[in-house]
Amino acid sequence: MSKFDFRKGFQPMGFLGPEALPKPPVLPTYETSEVVVLPFGYEGTVTFGHGTANGPRGLIEASYQVESFDDELLDDYFNLVKIWTTQQPDLPTDPLEAVALLKNLVLQLFADGKFPIAIGGEHGISYGYAQALSETFKDISVLVFDSHMDLHDRSSGRDFSHAAWLKYSLDLLNFKQATLVGIRNFNKNEHEFWKANPDKIKVFFSKDRANWKIEEIVHSLGDNVYLSFDMDFFDSSVMPSTGTPEPGGPGWDEVLPILRAVCAKKNIIGMDLVELAPIKGLQAPDFLAAKLLLKMILYKFKAKALGGNK
């Protein structure tokens, strides 16, 4: 595979679009960036609602309205971390070919000393990111915010699909442990797989969230953590713009303290945000995804300064 040119930025503006500010800051180049946002709107194995192919653009365009000044760190994001948004690559139609492409792109970014963030697209793309991590790190834990377990054997008539990426990652890769937060929809096979692997899979069900303890979530993870965020984690009243909106989910204020604590106490080695399926005329979910992604980035780099659980 030939090397992808990450220096070609997303058009017309990248994530957060600081060019739109009255007095735009000096922007990083690809070479000077720490974080590279990689749009990857692959959508090939979805089983219900469609539209995740438009997720990256919807998130990026909504991000132009996100305030650059962070309410916790009390500074503009561009003073805290250097972010570059690359163009989206040409995507294959076959899911495993798409996975292989993302794996190679993430490995290229690691080789260039960047922290890659993939924005999807369906959750199946996470298997590609997971493969790149497995070749680069040891003792990997994965923290998944999701309403589904994604431990299917088959879905959409395929062995591999967006509903099977985590099972593939646990079966085939160097993943030590998985912690799932927000779960509220799964089938019998997934339930049996989880029950058969209690030391490898920890589940925090959405129905029990009043009793969640952040320290238990943090302690369930090893030192190296892959953070994968499916937007259907949120309650469907907050996040209808996703392929399978699920009732009974958490909200904004319930997830931020968890993200902050994990980022303060663990080494976040990879990150993605997936399953945003924008609905024309409904802007709030896209804005939520954009602001969430900025929070994830700032927590990754600055959570220790905030004291984790505070």
Helix (H, G, I), strand (E, B) or coil at 132: helix
Give the total number of structural domains in the chain: 1
Let me know: does 272 contact 124? Beta carbons within 8 Å.
Answer: no
CATH of residue 26: 3.40.800.10
298 occurs within a structural domain: yes
Looking at residue 157, what is its pLDDT?
47
Query: Is residue 8, in this structure, part of any structural domain at all?
Result: no
Sign of CA dihedral 38, 41, 43, 48: positive
Does a structural domain hold residue 10?
Answer: no
260 occurs within a structural domain: yes
Sign of the alpha-carbon torsion through 217, 219, 220, 222:
positive
pLDDT of amino acid 252: 97
DSSP H or E run through 215? helix 214-219
Which residue range forms the structural domain that includes residue 134?
18-306
pLDDT in tens, the chain (310 residues): 578 999 999 999 999 987 666 666 778 899 999 999 999 999 866 665 578 999 999 999 999 999 999 999 999 999 999 999 999 999 998 988 999 999 999 999 999 999 999 999 998 899 999 999 999 999 999 999 999 988 876 544 456 655 678 888 887 676 889 999 999 989 888 898 899 999 899 999 999 999 999 999 999 999 999 999 999 999 999 999 998 899 999 999 999 999 999 999 999 999 999 999 999 999 999 999 999 999 999 999 999 888 754 4
pTM of the predicted structure, to 2 decimals: 0.93
Q: Are 178 and 202 in contact (CB under 8 A)?
A: yes
Both tokens of 69, joined, read 């000044």
* Residue 6 falls inside a structural domain: no
Supply the pLDDT for residue 48.
58
Q: How big is the chain by its Cα radius of gyration, in Å?
A: 18
In a domain, 236, yes or no: yes
Cβ(200)–Cβ(178) below 8 Å: yes
pLDDT on residue 190: 87
> What is the pLDDT, as a whole number, of residue 310?
46
